[in-house]
Amino acid sequence: MTLLITYASTRGSTREVAEAIAASLREHGLDVDLKAAAEVEDVDGYDGVVLGAAIYMGHAHVDARRLLRRCRKELSSLPLAVFAMGPRTSSEDDLAGSRKQLDHDLAKLPELEPFSIAIFGGVVDPAKLHFPFNRMAASDARDWDAIEAWALELAATFAPVPAAALAP
């Protein structure tokens, strides 16, 4: 089984989470390709896809939305999991708000039905932002334990069934 872990990230925090998920899946024996969403031309040859997207201004990163539209037919017949990064805190309200924004974007492609969706806190690094956003307080709301737990759920879903388990 070969999985594609793809991400849409402007400043790198979503890429870092995708890298961590890919590493966890590899540790569980899965064959994983890791690519930026803008570099993915098609998903042929993959047995499943995990897409990560930063949320900016109420929408999933444009590269993630383009990938979903471009590959919608193929993705509709593959196991698809989606995670998004966005809220400045990991409070329930902030996570729920980002989930609503992601759900709004996914609703535009009803043929796509991710089997798992996760929202993780985002990162604000004022040094990487333009005015007036560079005046925001720095924060990193990523919950690495929650990210690892989600990766373990994915591994359990995607892991090949051992031959011994198939024997009567």
pLDDT in tens, 90-147: 778 888 889 999 999 999 999 999 999 999 987 656 566 556 665 566 667 688 999 9
Kindly give the residue spans of alpha helices, DSSP state H, lying in 13-159. 13-27, 62-70, 72-75, 92-107, 144-158
105 secondary structure, DSSP code:
H
CATH second-level architecture of 2-166?
A: 3-Layer(aba) Sandwich (3.40)
Between 88 and 18, the higher pLDDT residue = 18
pLDDT at 125: 60
pTM, entire model: 0.86
Give the separation between CA 47 and CA 9, rounded to whole angstroms.
23
- Work out the mean pLDDT of the chain and round it to a whole number: 87
- Which residues, 6+ apart, have CB-to-CB distance to 105 below 8 Å? 59, 60, 65
Task: Summarize the confidence of residues 144-166 as an average pLDDT.
Answer: 79
